[in-house]
Homo-oligomer: A and B are copies of this chain.
Amino acid sequence: MNRVYNFSAGPSMLPLPVLEQAANEMVCYGTSGMSVMEMSHRSPDYEAIIKEAEALLRKLMNIPDNYKVLFLQGGASTQFSAVPMNLIKRTGKADYAVSGQFSGKAFKEAQKMGYDVKCIATTKDDNFDHVPTITRDMIRPDAAYLHICFNNTIYGTKYGYIPDTGDIPLVADLSSCIISEPIDVSKFGVIYAGAQKNMAPAGMTLVIVREDLLDYAEETMPTMLEWKTMAENDSMYNTPPCYPIYIAKLVYEWILSLGGLEKMKEMNVAKANLLYNYLDSQDYYFAPVKKDSRSLMNVTFVTGDADLDKKFASEAAKAGLKNLKGHRSVGGMRASIYNAMPYAGVEALIAFMKDFAANNPKA
């Protein structure tokens, strides 16, 4: 069994101890006599798992009591529709900042659904090499919310600050940076995240919503997308994605055992610094993202030669460094170094980068 270093942007690496525990418990969980996958979601054994998952996440993220934690299905893409359906009735219009592909998709989805939405800031003209600077005066005073994507997986950018939106709820897609470092939840109205990058396998979507924002759902919207219904039923209106929630619980336990999000940030900063410092120290590779917008989780770089980029990803894969090819829409390389990527994985990547540069001189 040779495990590789998997730099996939998502689904992505999970901590080895979590996978080993899942393997050990697969056929029989504790004294239950069955797999977690076989448990009725309303059984005491499973209820203990989902309740513990929520309690651990609340502890980990220091989630205030006036926020509901929901474990849903459908991915962040489903939330692109759910956000306006749940919130826009507050005032009838909403603002979006577009800092990459997914925030653009969120904006377009709200438009497609016929809502009055406005893009108040975008860095599209700069190929999304940084995030917008958002100030309070840019947001329409009667916006129901401002939507942002906090970490842009494809471009490798992240907001280095939490935009000040005053009384207007800030709604943020945190799919690719959730639980990578401490964040002040109270600054947000709604946080949502697909689980498959830093938290669990694909199929679970986390929504953290301030309670006063549960009362604006469209009457005719699909019940399954109503946050209030899900909150009132403790994410059990129907059968939840039980197994991903169980894996998420194991991941939360793993992070807490290491020292929580402060420690996780320290480890993630160390990994990212190692890679960015190397990138800044040479001129074979170029990191296109502006320094103040650099992501801790997704590090993008190019050689400047598309054929070399292709060769890089292909040879890296053969060397056990998988999924370094950049997103099909932007090319180049991307190293996603989520919580589960060990420091040694980044060291191995840099060693490979040095060898590759030495062996493939540019014309």
Contacts and interface: CB of A to CB of B under 8 A. Distances in A.
Which 10 pairs between the two chains have the least Cβ-Cβ distance? A4-B33, A81-B222, A203-B241, A23-B26, A37-B201, A77-B238, A73-B73, A203-B203, A8-B40, A78-B224
B6 A34 contact: yes
Task: For chain A, give the interface size range.
Answer: 35 or more
Interface core residue of A78, A222, A322 (most chain B CB under 10 Å): A222
Given A19-B37, A37-B247, A323 B201 contact: no
B202 A240 contact: yes
Contact of A109 (B26, B112, B223): B223
A242 B203 contact: yes
A74 B74 contact: yes
B39 A8 contact: yes
Nearest to A33: B4
Given A81-B223, A220-B112, A222-B78, A14 B38 contact: yes
B35 A19 contact: yes
Contacts of A220: 112-114
Interface string A1-40: 1111010111111101001101110111000111101111
Given A73-B75, A113-B222, A239-B196, A28 B14 contact: no
A112 B74 CA distance: 21
Contacts of A320: 33
Interface string A185-206: 0000000001010000111100
User: Which of A2, A3, A320 has most chain B Cβ within 10 Å?
Assistant: A3
Contact of A35 (B14, B204, B223, B244): B14
A98 to B, nearest CB: 17
16 contacts: A3-B27, A4-B34, A6-B38, A11-B37, A11-B40, A11-B242, A14-B38, A19-B35, A22-B26, A73-B203, A77-B223, A82-B222, A113-B222, A196-B239, A203-B243, A241-B241
Given A43-B323, A73-B78, A224-B74, A239 B11 contact: yes
A85 B225 CA distance: 14
A41 interface: yes
A286 interface: no
